[in-house]
Structure formats: structure tokens, C-alpha cells
Amino acid sequence: MKTVIRLFCLCLVMLCSCVNSSNPKIGLCFTGQGVDISGVANDFIKRVAPVAEEYEKIKEQTGLTDDDILEGSKESLFCKGKVQQALATVQCLILKGINCLYPNLHFDCVIGQSLGNYTALFAAGAISLEDLLKFLQLRDELSTDIARNAQQSYKMVVVQGIDFNILEKYVNTKTTFITSKNTKSCFTVAGVDKAVSLLEDKLKSDMPDIKLIELKVAAPFHTNFMAPLVDELWKNFPTRKNLLIPIISDATGLIYYSSDGFDKSWLKKQLTNPMLWSGANGMFERIEEQKLTHIIVVGDGQGSADMLNENIPNISAYAVKDIGQLNKVVEEIEAFRKSGL
């Protein structure tokens, strides 16, 4: 009888231990080009020595300058054709700062949004930083050539407050494309500048209550205009090692446990297909399946953090671009761990 009582007490102690603590599941998210770049990583560069050292190496490799990363404008980066390299640089420097300041912070998966898919490959251990930046230099150059060779500019706009079936009727599939299914009523459209402007005017006239947000991008990403780049980019796609943690990619809405999935077919989809967030095959469902409790959006990604919070139950997503924000996030994660929720 005493043995039974002891076993019962031991089980009770173990149960209480489980109830009084809870292991968070944390994801990292890397966004695409519709965010600020210059100045975003300054706090980490100035206050974390290993980040500053990495920054100097990156400048030497890429030709990026303090004007580009610390205090310049996105317009100047577009003029130089270095937007993609610069965004990945900022995100990788912040990630290094996170790992330096909180080396015991464990991440369960990485989320790639548009250009952020390539940074996700780096964060998951599949490619080196040097190879990432070299590849994105080529992607910058080829993207710039798309616009130059076509002798026309391109535009991307976020459309909020509209049903997908209605928006489809306004899109001309030769000159404009729906490039992202963010939520049930929020989408991104890209294409030839004049055609997108005409679409905006028509939408405003017919539905004055919808909201339109223009995004500055280097090329018509996630449209068929990008198809000519596939072969050249695939020839130069970095050699990929095994993933250390899984990646959820918005190019397919799938989760990858092996780098083998990042093949030429995936690359083509990443360049030409819409970003898949909502819907049956979207990222929201994959993230929910992973039972993530917290997501750190690396850099200037408050819009993405808001979208995640609004569409995934029981999750807390935060944009982190300085040490103060990082400290606050880690405090909340630790509070969750101790709460037993």
C-alpha cells in the first residue's frame, strides 16, 4: 500500500511539473522586399561585436556600403540594383545578433516569404551566407535586366477589402497578376506599371472603400514575366546541405524537412507563382499544423507579424529589428514557458 501511495505521489508531482511549465515552439520568419532595409539592423551592428565583424565581411564581399545598410534609402538601393542583397544582409545580421545574445533560444522551423525563402535556406543551415549573397547578387542583376530589356517599369500593390473572385475579374492575365493570397480579403497584384495603375483607378471607382497600398519592387516578382530567369538562376543556385530545421515556403504552401525539395521546380514556382498564405494549401495551415506558439519576424516585418496574429489562433508573432524588441519578445516567451499554458 505504501508503494502504491509513493507511486501516486510521484505521478502527481510529475503531473504538476508538466502543468506548471510549457515548452514554446518558436518559428523564424523572413519577409520579402516590401519592407524597409537601411537602418533596420543598426542596433545590432553597433552593440553586438560579432555582428559588426560579420557586417564588415559582408561589405567586403558585396560592395554594400554604410550608406546602403546604416542610413541610406531604398531608392538608392534600387538605383544600384542591390535591394535583394541588402535585405538579406540586414536579416542575416539581425539573426546573428539574436543567436549571439540568446544562444539557447531554440527555433523549431523557418518561414520563407517571397525573397525571404532564400534567407530561410541560410537560417536552416542549407546554404552559406557567402553563397546566399552571391546568388542574390545575380538575382538582383537579372531582375533589373527584366525591366531594362522590356523598356518598361513594373508595380506591385496590396489590395485590401475585396473578395478573390471579384478581384480576378479586374485582372488582365497578360499584364497584371494576383501575386499573393494573404487572407480571404487581402491580396497583392503586380504587373506592368500602367496596367496596374489602370486597375487601381478602376477598383477605386467601383469600390471606394477598398484600401490600396503600393509597394516598391525591383521587378514583377511572382508573375510569368520572371520565367526567363529560371534557367540561369538554377544553374547558379547554391549547393544545399541538409536542413537543420524544417522550412515552410510560401512558394508552395508546403513544409520541407529535406533540402532535396528545393529543386528547379520549386525555384520556378518561387519566381512565377503567387505567394500562398491563405486557403487549403496555404502557409497559415502549415504553421498551425506545426503548433507554433511564437514567431519572430526578422527585421521590418510588422505587416507580416500582424497578418500572422490575425489569421492563426493561439500564436504570438513579433517583428524584431532592435535589441529592445528582442529582449521583450524573449521575456514573453519565458513567461509563456513558466505559465504552463
Q: Kindly state whether residues 183 and 319 are assigned to the same domain.
A: no
Q: Residue 253 has what pLDDT?
A: 93
Q: Look at residue 53 and tell me whether its pLDDT is greater than 50.
A: yes
Over 70: is that where the pLDDT of 20 sits?
no
CB 33 within 8 A of CB 218: yes
Please give the Cα distance from 231 to 228 (Å, whole number): 7
Q: Give me the domain span that covers residue 168.
A: 154-215
Tell me which of 75-84, 119-128, 239-248, 302-311 is least confident. Answer: 75-84
Contact 68, 80 (CB under 8 A): yes
- Asked whether residue 282 is domain-assigned, the answer is yes
Q: Are 255 and 248 in contact (CB under 8 A)?
A: yes
The pLDDT assigned to 17 comes to 40
Q: Is residue 18 part of a domain?
A: no
Q: Kindly state the average pLDDT of the residues 28-57.
A: 93
125 and 234 both lie in a single domain: yes
Say if 12 falls within a structural domain: no
What's the whole-number mean pLDDT along residues 288-316?
A: 94
Residues across the chain: 341
142-156, 165-179, 191-205, 211-225: which range is least confident on average? Answer: 142-156
> How far apart are alpha carbons 317 and 313 in whole angstroms?
11
**230 falls within a domain:** yes
The 10 Å Cβ neighbour count of residue 322 is 15
Mean pLDDT of 121-136: 97
Number of structural domains in the chain: 2
Asked if 185 contacts 3 with a C-beta cutoff of 8 angstroms, the reply is no
What's the whole-number mean pLDDT along residues 222-249? 96
Query: Tell me, what's the pLDDT at 82?
Result: 87
Among 3-7, 125-129, 158-162, name the one with the lowest average pLDDT: 3-7
Domain check: are 29 and 90 in the same one? Answer: yes
Helix (H) or strand (E) holding 1: none
Q: Given pLDDT bands bounded at 50, 70 and 90, which one contains residue 341?
A: low
CA atoms of 87 and 82, how far apart (whole Å): 9
Residue 288 has pLDDT above 50, yes or no: yes
Average pLDDT along the chain = 89
- 221 contacts 179 by C-beta, under 8 angstroms: yes
User: Which contiguous run of DSSP H or E holds residue 157?
Assistant: strand 154-160
Asked if 160 and 144 sit in the same domain, the reply is no
What pTM was computed for the model? 0.89
User: Looking at per-residue confidence, does 288 or 14 come out higher?
Assistant: 288
Residues 106 and 136 in one domain: yes
For helices 83-101 and 116-123, give the axis angle rounded to 10 degrees. Answer: 30
Percent of the chain with pLDDT over 70: 93
Residue with cell 565583424: 53
Say if 6 falls within a structural domain: no
Statement: residue 177 has pLDDT above 80? yes
Burial of 179 (0-12, 13-18, 19+ CB in 10 A): buried
Grid cell of 53 as nine digits = 565583424
